[in-house]
Amino acid sequence: MDMQTSFLDRLFESGLLIDTGIDGLYGRSGQFEDVIAAFERLIDTFGGADGAEAMRFPPGMNRAFFEKSGYMKSFPQLAGTVHSFCGSELDHVSLLQCMEVGEDWTKGQEATDIVLTPAACYPLYPTIAKRGNLPKTGGLFDLQSYCFRHEPSKDPARQQLFRMREYVCMGTELHVTDFRQRWMDRGVEMMKAVGLEVTIDVANDPFFGRAGKMLANNQRDQNLKFELLIPITSAANPTACMSFNYHQDAFGTKWGLNLEDGTVAHTACVGFGLERIALALFHHHGLDVKQWPASVRKALWG
Ligand code: ATP
Ligand code: ZN
Ligand code: MG
């Protein structure tokens, strides 16, 4: 706990992260952003030849798609919705009165059609389903988005608004599990290139409640999720900086993603936690980028 506080404090003192008064909501300095940009270019060099279709969605998604995704069944504790004032002039008067006397002014806010994106790939599946059947070669997509998760923490590696770079693969079981394995190998290689020691381990998502325990156990037993772990705030509990998820045909069935021959597509996604990777670099090589090992600087900036 002390370690966490002090790394966060040092990040604030150095200006790399900017305190907003909210745990897990930080501004970032130009230097911090430069590290993320450099690492994303490294991702491009590893993944560039695969011919993924790049798409960028904003950090909010269509609420109807979010509802259909089943996110509220699995992770209600993490979700964030966008609400707005939709009232009359009279309602406005009482809103301001409410704020004036320090009462809860948010009660009158109404849900909009937008929710905050929980993972970069969520807006993709309905988008691709709308196109019709996938070609024989399947689909490969390159995504990056700010994501929201309501998990306030003093651990700088657990933020509420953070960026996820993802590759998503759609195709046959063999096709998408090969894709996932390739990125596990690449992940290890990339982190080695920037001087980070990693381990890969089987993992599970934080499914809510008692029924969630079973889902989590099932996910583990079937090796559906792996994480690439790097010690950041704790050596005993290293942080997931990448995840490798195989959804079987669950998303294919849910969204109606079919292959050319009419069979349901299997899907897999590989996610990079960009802030976490930057934090791992600062933690291991120091807060002054100029002092980083030459090999690391070369891998990032050529
Ligand atoms: P954790 O196990 O640490 O809660 P996760 O398994 O929930 O992470 P995923 O849902 O697989 O993470 O998200 C993909 C990637 O996004 C993770 O590998 C991680 O690098 C990053 N990530 C997830 N949650 C956060 C967060 N709160 N702050 C910063 N990065 C995050
Ligand atoms: Zn994903
Ligand atoms: Mg996890």
Q: Copy the structure tokens of residue 67.
A: 């509802």
Q: What is the pLDDT of residue 6?
A: 87
CA 231 – CA 153 distance, rounded (Å): 17
Q: Whose CA is closest to atom 15 on ligand 1? A: 273
* Count of other CB atoms within 10 angstroms of residue 91: 12
Averaged pLDDT of the chain: 96
Look at the block and give the residue holding tokens 């806010």: 109
**Type of residue numbered 252:** G
| Ligand 1 mutation target, pool 146, 246, 247, 276, most atoms within 8 A of CB | 276
- ipTM, two decimals: 0.98
Residue pair 128/147 in contact by the 8 Å Cβ criterion: no
CA 39 – CA 27 distance, rounded (Å): 19
Determine which helix (DSSP H) or strand (DSSP E) holds 207, and give its type and residue range. none
- Ligand found nearest the CA of 202: 3
* Predicted TM-score of the model (pTM): 0.96
Q: Of 206, 204, 163, which is closest to residue 77 (Cα–Cα)?
A: 206
Distance 92 CA to ligand 1 centre (A): 39
When pLDDT is cut at 50, 70 and 90, the band that residue 5 belongs to is: low
CA 169 and chain centroid, separation: 16
Q: Is 46 exposed, middle or buried (0-12, 13-18, 19+ CB in 10 A)?
A: middle
Q: Give the tens place of pLDDT for each residue, 197-254.
A: 999 999 999 999 999 999 999 999 999 999 999 999 989 999 999 999 999 999 999 9
Q: Of 80, 69, 202, 54, which is closest to residue 140 (Cα–Cα)?
A: 54
